[in-house]
Structure 1
Amino acid sequence: MGGQWLSTVEQTSSGRPVFLPNEIERSLVSAVDLECEDLPSFPSLKSGLLILTTHRLIWLPPDSSSTSTTSSAVAVPLSSVSHIFSNKKSLKSMFHSPRIRFQASLFHDPGSNPDPGPRSVVMTIVVRGKGDCDAFLGKFWESWRGRAWESEASGPARGEDSGSGSGFYTREGAVRMVGVSGILRKEQEMWESTDKSLQEAFQDLNALMVTCVFFFVNVYGLCVCPDDFVVLSKAKEMVMLAEKMRQKLLSGSNSQTGSTNDDELGSKEEMQDWLLSVGIISPVTKESAGALYHQQLCRQLADFVRIPLDRAGGMINLIDVYCLFNRARGTELISPEDLLQACSLWEKFDVPVMLRKFDSGVMVIQNKSHSDEEVFVRIKALVTNPDALRTGISASDAAITLGIAPAMAKEHLLTAESKGLLCRDISPDGFRFYINLFPEINQDDVYL
């Protein structure tokens, strides 16, 4: 659908775009048309969702929740934008939808045009919804002037600037990092700042020693006594001691404990890589998403829980998801109400996960492909074990077999009981579940 001029954007299973490394979402506007009158072959992009990031303008079709439209999302790199036109207030502008015009260099498909070079065109963003066009234009200017795609070449250390600047950019124009990766980068930058300060301090101490000797001998014509040399030598020893401390700090920042064990260092590097992979680089926020906050939050949450669900066997407690999701978001925490509202919106979108509530009131998140029948088969195999036929099984026994938490295993056992597969015995030791030897008895007619 991108035609011959725009690059396609890969989408996740929930319809969210797949962001580039260090790309952060800035603003969203719904019901947006993307037009270009200079190109007759420009595709028709109507009533879509426009996402502004630090690197691109991403246009998503209105039915982006379907995985069959993954090739219909397109993007305009901010690096190709050469000028953004200011909005001019006029009488005519009061009677049509707000518009944002910018000039960009687009590349034609070389397979259909003998001249595949760039072509400078004027594109128009038509906001037909209720989005704040002026606020979007301001963030568009800020993202374009920030030039985050260029700051990546200078290294990751510029990703944060503690105490200076505001928003998503530092005073130097570097894009800020959020989530766990941002916290780790901020810590690394703190070590580098400490190293620089210590180096300057050591140079100042050495210069001070030389200056003192020169001052007393040459200016006042005084002879430096041996005691003075002792004092200066002690100062030199303090400088050497501080230098050793600095090297120790730097080695500690690299190996955390200064250990030379290769296996230990390898495991810590793997842990850091795992934390970086878990951290969400661009979490959805109320500032960036606006009225679409919960809608975009539910899509991002659906993408996030995919890996935890695979590790938990297809079902995970909602409380555990809340802790994992907030840990990955770093400082951009969400409330339990926001999480519950985002999960409740999954029914309206074609996502592979769902929110489930057991009869006991426990809420979980599970894959739509998760089958209770498969769990019941494993429970039946466990409860028909010769030892289990005599003593029964507990929630802990089922948790070990199913590889899940005891609370979740208990919910599965209670569900199997409601289906007539199990029966239970309540004793001071707790619940014990046994195989139901009378499955033909209708529970509704048990008293008849």
Structure 2
Amino acid sequence: MSTATTSFFEPASVTSSGRPVLHQAEVECHLLSSVDLEPEPTTTANSLDFPALKSGLVILTTYRLLWLPSNVTTDNSNPIAIPLSSVTHIFSTKKSIKSMFHSPRIRFQVSIHSRSVVVTLVIRGKGDIDVFLTKFWDCWRGRAWEIGKDSGGGSSSGSVPASGSVSGGGLYSSDGSVRLVGVSGILRKEQEMWESTDKSLQEAFHDLNALMRKAKEMVILAEKMRQKLLSGSSSQSSSGNDEEMGSKEEMQDWLLSVGIVSPVTKESAGAMYHQQLSRQLADFVRIPLEKAGGMINLIDIYCLFNRARGTELISPEDLLQACSLWEKFDVPVMLRKFDSGVKVIQNKSHSDEEVFARIKNLVSKPEALRSGITASDAAMTLGIAPAMAKEHLLTAESKGLLCRDISPDGFRFFVNLFPEINSDDIHLVKDHGIYSLWIKGR
């Protein structure tokens, strides 16, 4: 990207999966694919002319308008961000016969540091342009970037009594005025009831807005605490206090339950729903994978991911389709299926050879040579769940490293001694190797 573009527009940060890094309390609103960013030619002295950005992904948030190249890792263009606070005008679209044969266009004016330019979005992909334009207007008018800076105000206290309440019956009211009777009295009383209900609703919504502002502040605070804990846990020395580390892990578990601030939805992503969901899922599984030893069951991820999304739940089919799209993206995670049919998510850096070496070292110990090992024993050594440890043991058995004994107590695995037995003289006992250790241990 040229220096003119980078000096005018803000650079946008993206994750390893190509998802945008959002600010605190920033929420995605809509996405459009295959969008060009073009400057409108002008002769004004303080205007800016930047090179056109071709065929990218436009993401509208409550704070910014983001443009990401179609392939972040290989494209020469860099992601850019246009703050909605710098947008001074959004031009209305004019429909004509000519526009029916051309790609839809959205024009808006941007002004930064006394320099302005009219930017044109040329939408060459599929998408509802009217919905995007409506949300563009709503986000720009909503000015959420200013609301996030303000502190939540208190709500009015006290109840408002009904103005038409009376004490006692008769023709006269408590203040001496003549009461309205008949049809007019009924209508008047009904109007007073509606006014009282309206005031109560206004107070309730006022309190609800204050509560929502406080909830947003708590989410921001929780995000700050989680980032501080995550950065602190990676830099902490191994000689730290175990009790303190345990409390930090509990705090991380609690903060992770706060959830995803801006989950990808079908309404905001449209046709790119599964693609963007796949990228967001790749970013989300990083921390659970680190805690699970580099591999985690797909069912567990489904529960954790839906828990983090709050009310925006996804179906198992959506999760499976999102995982299958990882093959097309340059992400550090992958979907794996064991021979037993169990599906897991693991890091691409995960090495089965390293796991097999640790398992072989475990079954070669004197106690394991006598009684074998279980999935729980392997789970404690590998630092993973017993279900995942069992899959590794079965895989090691299929590779010829282990032998399995099936008993009423379950599976027990032993080191495979058959490769060390001389087929020409099966009664010959070797003086070295695992076979010799097994004979001495018996």
TM-score w.r.t. structure 2 length? 0.70
Residue-by-residue CA offset, 1:343-387 (whole Å, 9 max, x unaligned): 011111111100000000000000000001111111111111101
Work out which of the residue numbers 14, 18, 22 in structure 1 matches 2:21.
18
Displaced runs of 4 or more, over 4 A: 68-71, 267-270
Distance 1:71 1:382 in 2: 51
* Alignment pair present for 1:9 and 2:5: no
Q: Which residue of 2 aligns with 1:168?
A: none
Give the direction of change, closer, same or farther, for the CA distance of 1:124–1:71 in structure 2 (3 Å limit): closer
- Equivalenced residue count is 332
Matched, 1:75 2:81: yes
Letter in 2 for 1:50: V
Q: Paired residue for 1:54?
A: 62
Q: Does the Cα contact within 8 Å between 1:11 and 1:70 map onto a contact in 2?
A: no
Which letter does structure 2 place at the counterpart of 1:382?
L
Once the 2 structures are TM-superposed, how far is the Cα of residue 134 of structure 1 from its aligned partner? 1.1
> Which residue of structure 2 lines up, in the alignment, with residue 329 of structure 1?
309
Say if 2:403 is the partner of 1:397. no
Q: Are the counterparts in 2 of residues 354 and 366 from structure 1 also a CA contact under 8 Å? A: yes
Q: Which amino acid aligns with 1:55?
A: Y
How far off its partner does 1:282 sit?
0.3
Letter aligned with residue 348 of structure 1: K
Aligned counterpart, 1:147: 143
The secondary structure found in structure 2 opposite 1:153 is: coil
* 8 Å contact from structure 1 (residues 392, 434) kept in 2: yes
After superposition, give the CA deviation of every residue in 1:390-409 in whole Å (9 maximum; x if it has no partner): 10001111111111111111
**Which whole-Å CA distance do the structure 2 matches of 1:317 and 1:120 have between them?**
52
Q: What is the match of residue 186 of structure 1?
A: none
Kept after mapping to 1: 8 A contact 2:103/2:124: yes
Contact map agreement 1:4 1:42 (CA 8 A) in 2: no
1:97 alignment partner AA? S
Give the unaligned 5+ runs of structure 2: 42-46, 162-174, 176-214, 216-242, 422-442
Contact (CA 8 Å) 1:9, 1:71: kept in 2 or not? no
Displacement, 1:43?
2.9
Cα deviation digits, residues 69-116 of structure 1 (max 9, x gap)? 69710011000001111111112211211000011113xxxxxxxxxx
Q: What 5-or-longer segments of structure 1 have no aligned partner?
A: 107-116, 159-191, 205-218, 220-252, 254-262, 442-448
Aligned match of 1:313 in 293, 317, 322? 293
Provide the C-alpha distance between the structure 2 equivalents of 1:302 and 1:272, rounded to a whole number of angstroms: 19
1:124 aligns with 2:120: yes
- Partners in 2 of 1:153 and 1:432 — Cα distance? 60
1:138 to 134, 137, 140: 134
CA contact (8 A) 1:8 1:71 kept: no
Q: Which amino acid in 1 is paired with 2:94?
A: K
Is 1:88 equivalent to 2:85 in the alignment? no
User: Does the Cα contact within 8 Å between 1:10 and 1:70 map onto a contact in 2?
Assistant: no
Deviation of the 1:428 alpha carbon: 1.0
Shift of 1:3: 3.2
Q: 1:413 aligns with which of 366, 389, 393?
A: 393
Computed over aligned residues only, the root mean square deviation of the Cα atoms, in angstroms, reads 2.7
Select the residue among 281, 296, 305 that pairs with 2:276.
296
- Check the 8 A contact 2:33/2:56 in 1, yes or no: yes
Question: Of 399, 407, 426, which aligns to 2:406?
Answer: 426
Q: Once the two structures are aligned, what percentage of the paired residues are identical? A: 74
- The alignment partner of 2:419 has SS state of coil
Q: Structure 1-normalised TM-score?
A: 0.69
Cα distance, 1:29 vs. partner?
0.4
The 3-state SS of whatever aligns with 1:439 is: helix
Check whether the contact 2:16–2:283 (CA below 8 A) recurs between aligned residues.
Answer: yes
